[in-house]
């Protein structure tokens, strides 16, 4: 056998051991049934890498250990090359992401090293032209004549570069690049090989780059150090603690039920105190029950006009909430800020405009989503009533939008202003950690359920579950929510999908009109934190609130797809952190697990995420838990909240607030105190 045939068999994987099985094939030339004089096919001429390898193969047989060892070595070298390239790309992508996120460098989507060097040079005050010429804006004439780039001290820079090379020889362990702990052992092997290969290319490092090592050293030392809290060793590439703007919710009592501004001096005192704490902005609830409280389409904004004029004096950023729900209840059971009186009058004649539980009890906290497209509100549908209110606000305060004073608008989409059913309402006797009840027994939602069941082909499914317990039931006490319960039956899956889809449709309908009313203004939607029974298979409390999120479903994904469609900011309620571990164990609660699912899914959908507390005050430990959620320490993508809202039931100057703790909390949000350096 000649050399070419030997090489061909070595490179062709199907040629190994051909003598063992090919003669038994009836069409093989050496088979007894075939004529032996049949001409042998000409060997294929090796090309490329095979042609290069042919010289080293020689007369060695393809089955010899030397050839197989060389083949395996070539394959291993290919894999190492792939791993080196993968590591290089991952490091580059992290560097570019850090420069964009923390350095505000305007790098293009597919940036290369030239873009990075140009951005660094411009940051240092140099001029970088399109053809790559880089120089200072005012270089000394002597250096221009010599054709040199401007450097302040080329001699000292050269000394620094020389000392750097002397102190860090190629094989000094201190010069090894830092390795990400998440990389595989194969990737670590590629790093070692990459470092070894750098010694071969040292002779090209001095003249192959437009900026040599001396100038690069000069450039790096002139870059400004970005603000961070990493102590000694902070460089231009250190990851600073991000600045998260903090807003404070203004107490409700400054506007009475007749839309009049009360206690303006107390308001100024409150705002002065906020200003002393370096608060970034204020959140103001605009209550539907106050503005359109007495007659349909008669909007009274006078009290809010006076309040906004005072806010303008303090130059606070302003977020307004379109609050379409009632607020609070007095000891007598009456709402402090109810729904509009004309709505309540309609409700006396047609109680089905309100959410209804299985026992037929009505919840007047907000309107049922069943009337979103039903003309039962003096000739208007539910979404038309919401749209008219939002459009009136936009027209009345057009000057504030033009000035940029109003930075965002939050749209109330359900109970407590959150995107949820009123399934666990205290006025109905609910107590934590009850599973709550489904709120779909008004006439209009029942009609929607019948249509969905008929379309599904099972008209007898047009009913709510009769074994879901009551407000304070536990999942294991019910036949619907228990392990392997009816929630996972064919009927259960149909009902829960319809129930959750009604919530999604309501959000889609209202946000479509909100985007029309508040064009080019940031829109916010509040998402609840229903964390109890999260460790059960059914996630019972989430199911009754409208989120079809059992262990085999992802109930937040379709919701966030709709929110992404309207480019809203998700404001997540940071709740459950005050519950003791014993209470969480009894309720199989998992606030951290729910937060992880919701926040990561929202970020993966490309949504902006904000937060709001569910408490009136923090201690130091609770403060740090919130900070850890707002700015996740171990997030590989360095994501964080876009802002945070501190919610208070009473004015700061009147409430029993620990000012030192609140000041500490604000400093953590602003990055003045790094969360990872504080011991809880």
Catalytic residues: 418, 612
Phi-psi category of 335—alpha, beta or left, where left has phi over 0 and alpha has psi -120 to 50? beta
Phi-psi category of 196—alpha, beta or left, where left has phi over 0 and alpha has psi -120 to 50? alpha
Per-residue CA distances from 385 to 290, 469, 510, 564 (Å): 14, 35, 10, 24
How many other β-carbons are positioned within 10 Å of the β-carbon of residue 479?
13
The whole-angstrom separation of Cα 367 and Cα 124 is 58
Q: Are 485 and 537 in contact (CB under 8 A)?
A: no
The whole-angstrom separation of Cα 297 and Cα 342 is 11
Q: Are 577 and 625 in contact (CB under 8 A)?
A: yes
Per-residue CA distances from 246 to 336, 525, 645 (Å): 27, 17, 6
The whole-angstrom separation of Cα 357 and Cα 429 is 12
Contacts of 591 (CB under 8 A, 6+ apart): 529, 531, 534, 575, 576, 577, 579, 584
Per-residue CA distances from 228 to 246, 503, 642 (Å): 18, 43, 18
SS3 assignment for 81-129 = HHHHHHHHHHHHHHHHHHHHHHHCCCCCCCCCHHHHHHHHHHHCCEEEC
Structure tokens that stand for 377 in this block: 């509100």
Q: Is 155 exposed, middle or buried (0-12, 13-18, 19+ CB in 10 A)?
A: exposed
Q: Are 54 and 4 in contact (CB under 8 A)?
A: yes
Q: What share of the chain is helix, strand, coil (3-state, %, to 5)?
A: 45, 10, 45
Structure tokens that stand for 473 in this block: 């039931």
Closest to 210 measured CA to CA, from 126, 88, 97 = 126
Residue in this structure with the two tokens 């090293």, named with its chain if needed: 113
Q: Are 103 and 226 in contact (CB under 8 A)?
A: yes
Closest to 82 measured CA to CA, from 190, 155, 184, 158 = 190
């Amino acid at each position: 056998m000649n050399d070419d045939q030997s090489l061909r068999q070595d490179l062709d994987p199907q040629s190994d051991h051909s003598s063992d099985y090919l003669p038994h094939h009836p069409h093989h030339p050496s088979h007894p049934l075939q004529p032996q004089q049949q001409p042998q096919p000409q060997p294929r001429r090796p090309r490329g890498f095979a042609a290069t390898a042919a010289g080293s193969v020689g007369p060695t047989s393809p089955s010899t250990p030397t050839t197989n060892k060389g083949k395996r070595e070539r394959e291993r070298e290919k894999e190492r090359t792939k791993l080196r390239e993968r590591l290089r790309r991952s490091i580059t992508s992290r560097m570019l992401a850090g420069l964009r996120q923390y350095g505000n460098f305007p790098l293009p989507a597919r940036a290369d090293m030239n873009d990075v060097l140009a951005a660094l040079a411009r940051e240092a005050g140099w001029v970088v032209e399109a053809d790559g010429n880089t120089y200072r804006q005012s270089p000394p004439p002597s250096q221009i004549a010599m054709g040199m780039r401007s450097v302040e001290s080329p001699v000292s820079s050269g000394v620094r570069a020389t000392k750097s090379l002397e102190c860090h020889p190629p094989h000094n362990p201190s010069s090894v690049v830092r390795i990400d702990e998440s990389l595989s052992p194969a990737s670590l092997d590629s790093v070692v090989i990459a470092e070894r290969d750098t010694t071969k290319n040292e002779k090209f490092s001095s003249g192959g780059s437009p900026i040599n090592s001396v100038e690069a050293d000069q450039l790096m030392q002139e870059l400004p150090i970005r603000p961070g809290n990493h102590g000694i060793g902070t460089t231009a590439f250190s990851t600073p603690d991000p600045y998260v703007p903090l807003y404070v919710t203004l107490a409700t009592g400054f506007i009475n039920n007749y839309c009049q501004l009360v206690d303006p001096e107390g308001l100024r005192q409150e705002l002065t105190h906020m200003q002393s704490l370096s608060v970034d902005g204020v959140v103001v609830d605009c209550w539907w029950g106050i503005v359109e409280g007495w007659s349909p389409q008669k909007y009274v904004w006078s009290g809010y006009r006076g309040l906004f004029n005072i806010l303008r004096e303090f130059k606070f950023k302003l977020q307004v909430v379109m609050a379409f729900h009632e607020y609070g209840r007095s000891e007598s059971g009456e709402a402090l800020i109810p729904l509009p009186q004309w709505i309540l009058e309609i409700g006396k004649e047609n109680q089905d405009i309100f959410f209804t539980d299985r026992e037929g009890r009505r919840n007047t906290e907000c309107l049922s989503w069943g009337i979103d497209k039903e003309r039962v509100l003096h000739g208007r549908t539910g979404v038309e009533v919401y749209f008219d209110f939002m459009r009136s606000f936009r027209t009345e305060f057009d000057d504030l939008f033009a000035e940029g004073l109003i930075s965002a608008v939050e749209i109330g989409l359900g109970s407590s202003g959150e995107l949820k059913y009123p399934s666990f309402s205290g006025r109905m006797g609910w107590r934590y950690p009850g599973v709550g009840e489904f709120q779909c027994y008004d006439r209009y939602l029942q009609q929607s359920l019948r249509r969905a069941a008929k379309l599904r082909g099972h008209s007898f499914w047009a009913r709510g579950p009769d074994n879901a317990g009551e407000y304070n039931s536990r999942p294991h006490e019910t036949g619907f929510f228990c392990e392997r319960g009816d929630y996972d039956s064919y009927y259960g899956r149909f009902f829960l999908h319809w129930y959750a889809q009604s919530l999604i449709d309501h959000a889609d309908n209202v946000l479509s009109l909100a985007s029309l009313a508040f064009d080019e203004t940031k829109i916010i939607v509040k998402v609840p934190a229903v964390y109890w029974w999260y460790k059960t298979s059914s996630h019972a409390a989430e199911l009754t609130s409208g989120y079809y999120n059992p262990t085999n479903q992802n109930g937040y994904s379709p919701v966030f797809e709709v929110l992404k469609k309207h480019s809203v900011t998700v404001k997540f309620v940071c709740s459950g952190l005050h519950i003791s571990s014993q209470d969480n164990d009894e309720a199989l609660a998992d606030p951290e697990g729910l937060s992880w699912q919701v926040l990561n899914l929202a970020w993966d959908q490309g949504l902006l995420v904000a937060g709001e507390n569910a408490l009136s005050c923090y201690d130091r430990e609770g403060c740090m838990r919130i900070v850890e959620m707002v700015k996740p320490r171990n997030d590989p993508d360095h994501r964080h909240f876009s802002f945070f809202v501190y919610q208070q039931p009473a004015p700061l100057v009147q409430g029993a607030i620990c000012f030192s703790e609140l000041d500490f909390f604000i400093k953590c949000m602003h990055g003045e105190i790094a969360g990872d350096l504080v011991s809880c």
